[in-house]
Amino acid sequence: MNLQFLHNLSLGFGVAFQWLNLFYCLMGVLLGTLIGVLPGIGPIATIAMLLPVTFSLSPTAALIMLAGIYYGAQYGGSTTSILVNIPGETSSVVTCLDGYQMARQGRAGPALATAAIGSFFAGCVSTVVVAMFAPPLAEVALKFGPSEYFSLMVFGLVGAIVLAHGSLLKAIAMVLLGLLLGVVGTDANSGVQRFSYGIMELADGIGFIGVAMGLFGIAEIVASLEPKEARDVFTSKVGRLMPSREDFRRMWKPILRGTAIGSAIGILPGGGAVLASFGAYALEKKTSKYGHEFGKGAIEGVAAPESANNAAAQTSFIPMLTLGIPSNVVMALMIGAMMIQGIAPGPQVMTEMPKLFWGLIASMWIGNAMLLVLNLPLIGMWVRLLTMPYRLLYPSILVFMAIGVYSLSNSPFDVLLMALFGILGVIFVKLECEPAPLVLGFILGPMMEENLRRALMISRGDPMILFTKPISAFFLFAAIILLGIILAPKIRRKREEVFVED
Amino acid sequence: MKVKSPKDFWAGLMFIAFGLFFVIGARNYRMGSAARMGPAYFPTMLGGLIAVIGGIVFFRSLVVKGGKVPAIPLRLLSIITLSMIVFGYLLKPIGLVLALVFLVVVSAFAGQEFKIKEVLLLSSVLVILSVLIFVKGLGLPFPLWPGFLD
């Protein structure tokens, strides 16, 4: 910790505390929670839906608002998990286990408060982690050449594959499909139009927002509309919010551990909130002396995963901000948003746009504080939202999605694209092909091609350059080892177990 | 030949089809060499790879037992997607207000219940909100009414 660090933070807080940025942070957090609370709509769909709203803002305000939407949605998701037992998002799946049980025992209030306190603490710590780790990483990344970048992206994508549910082969195929869809449009190098078959709107490539909204938004709505068993909402029984002294005594260690695990996992490629919350829950269950209470309403089972997923959500910004590489779909959306704002994501963002960079980081802390202060008092309102019948909700969501996508280029083409990807998304789900790796591949496709092209040009066509440069070789070997570990039968079985828990 | 895992069977076929689409499509472009990658180079490589993986998934599905493909909710899916597409193409000719009413009313048919009063109320609320937020607030250049009324 040195002067530079403090200087950076004060610069950041200076930007984040500007009235307008505070306002957009607040709007982001509120809208994010509002939509995140709705069952079956996770942060991905929320961000995709609200992305167009940010187009007219300055890049800094837009990113601050989007980040706010992200952790707002995350927070809203845990509310839904606790009260309705339907995770608003995958990262609060484990929160359902004990949170819902607490709600059934009339302890919904303390469960919600625990989630909020854990998230806030984790948010504070991980903001500092981001501020400390991002600059050195960006400095290293500035020295990366095309081979290093290409191998880093391979490593990142392998990470995404490893963490996908289900079959590895299918996940690899989905990544490749994403990479391929990413190259549709004008080839930056030769100017040739690839795979656009005379469709003018495809000259700039397939619109990323349409893809994401279709694959996640539409597919989620269709899934929610399919007939299912009825759900119980604990609306009247939120009760008193304040956890008891005993609760506090039991929650602080899990919060610390969850924060540590979450911060570490968030940085990994393909990591992020989901794995972090699963990991933290599993660890608590094994080590806690209240292990036998898990699944029956143990407060540790709420505190640990909720801290972990918030910490991971925050630290997953590190690779995005410093390397320009998304570690999960939300970060891919962030990169999409940056590109729309005319910013090329990568290590130069920090040096060329320090205000944006540090302002965004500082706003994370502010956003978390807002969540803590606003959401507990507003919990009644969120609960009322939960009782709104889905038949009224989904047409409203469709309206926002349709207008948002249409406004991308003021043409119906993007709406058409979104609908087509919606159909694909539903098919993917039915065939158990996870769409997340596809989206990451899609964002990285053009970058990967360009870096591979350059690397091979330097080596005159010899692919061994990827293995002779030390950093590049390191990433490739790491990727191979990661794949090897996952294919090992023992780990493979474990991996299946972990994902079965939802 | 008997399919033991329908999910993988269809997924494999899908990947093979995508792979072939890109490999065959890339034949229209210049291949180049590794040192000077042409526009066809990357798509051909990846397309080939995805087709091979699709092939493995396909053949595995004949050997390894796996799940059935759940029914695809065709009615739901077509109501939702078509109502959005038509909305997109109606927006300019008939204006935001009517296009939104169309979207809300048609998409509401996908729900388990359809109460006409409720749907009309919902569409008026959504029309007012959208006009306020998107047209007045964010200044999106949408016509509100059909061209002949303006």
Residue spans of the domains in chain B: they are: 6-63, 74-149
Length of chain A counted residue by residue: 502
Q: How far is CA A401 from the centre of its chain?
A: 19
Report the residue of chain A nearest B17, measured CA to CA: A177
Min Cα distance A62 → chain B (Å) is 14
Q: Is the pLDDT of residue A427 over 90?
A: yes
Q: What is the pLDDT of residue A271?
A: 61
pLDDT reported for residue A502: 38
Distance from CA of A428 to the nearest CA of B (A): 8
Q: Which of A383-397, B71-85, B100-114 has the lowest mean pLDDT?
A: A383-397
Q: Per the CB < 8 Å rule, is B130 touching A399?
A: yes
Phi, psi of A186 (to 5 degrees): -75, 130
Q: What is the pLDDT of residue A392?
A: 82
- Could you say which of A227, A430, A461 has the minimum Cβ distance to residue B33? A461
| Confidence category of residue A501, pLDDT binned at 50, 70, 90 | very low
To the nearest whole percent, how much of chain B has pLDDT over 90?
Answer: 44
Q: In chain A, whose CA is at the least distance from the CA of B52?
A: A173
User: Which residues does chain A have within 8 Å of residue B94's beta carbon, measured at their own beta carbons?
Assistant: none
**A220 has a pLDDT exceeding 90:** no
A172 shares contact with chain B (CB less than 8 Å): yes
Contact A398 B22 (CB under 8 A): no
Cβ neighbours of A433 in B, within 8 Å = 11, 14
Q: Do A180 and B11 touch (CB under 8 A)?
A: no
Please give the pLDDT value at position A16: 86
Q: At what angle do helices A413-430 and A390-409 cross, to 10 degrees?
A: 130
Of A164 and B10, the structure prediction assigns the larger pLDDT to B10
Instruction: Search chain A and give the residue with CA nearest B85.
Output: A416
Going by C-alpha positions, the residue among A399, A127, A113, A378 that lies closest to residue B104 is: A399
pLDDT band, residue A420 (cuts 50/70/90): very high
Measure the CA–CA gap between A430 and A218, rounded to whole angstroms. 14
Q: Are the beta carbons of B111 and A394 separated by less than 8 Å?
A: yes
- Chain A residues with CB-CB distance to B84 below 8 A: 218, 398, 401-402, 415, 418-419
Q: Encode pLDDT of A189-202 as tens digits.
A: 788 888 878 787 78
Q: Distance between CA A343 and CA A356 in Å, rounded?
A: 11
Which residue from A391, A394, A456 is facing B35, i.e. has the nearest CB? A456
Nearest Cα residue to A393 out of A38, A91, A109: A38
Enumerate residues 6+ apart whose C-beta is below 8 A from B105. Answer: B119, B120, B123
Q: What is the pLDDT of residue A417?
A: 93
Q: Is B37–A422 a contact, with Cβ atoms under 8 angstroms apart?
A: no
pLDDT band at B45 (very low <50, low <70, confident <90, very high): very high
d(Cα A31, Cα A28) in Å, to the nearest integer?
A: 5
Which residues from A are below 8 Å from B33, CB to CB?
461
Pairwise CB contact (< 8 Å): A406 & B57:
no
Out of B37, B118, B138, closest to residue A453 by CB:
B37
Chain A residues within an 8 Å CB radius of B73: 222, 225-226, 426
The minimal CB distance from A180 to the residues B10, B50, B54 is found for B50
Q: What would the pLDDT profile of A460-500 be if each residue is shown by its tens digit?
A: 888 888 888 888 999 899 888 888 877 776 566 655 555 54
Query: For all residues of chain A together, what is the average pLDDT?
Result: 83
Residue in B with minimal Cα distance to A179:
B46
ipTM of the complex: 0.93
- For chain B, say whether A195 makes contact (Cβ under 8 Å): yes
Pick from B13, B16, B22, B115 the residue to mutate for testing the A interface (most A CBs within 10 Å).
B22
Interchain proximity A180–B126, CB inside 8 Å: no
End-to-end CA distance of chain A: 40
CB pairs under 8 A between A and B: 184
CA distance A395 to chain B (A): 6
pLDDT at A87 over 70: no
- Residue A244 confidence (pLDDT) above 80: no
Residue A1 has pLDDT above 80, yes or no: no
Query: DSSP letters along A217-242, please?
Result: IIHHHHHHHS---------TT----S
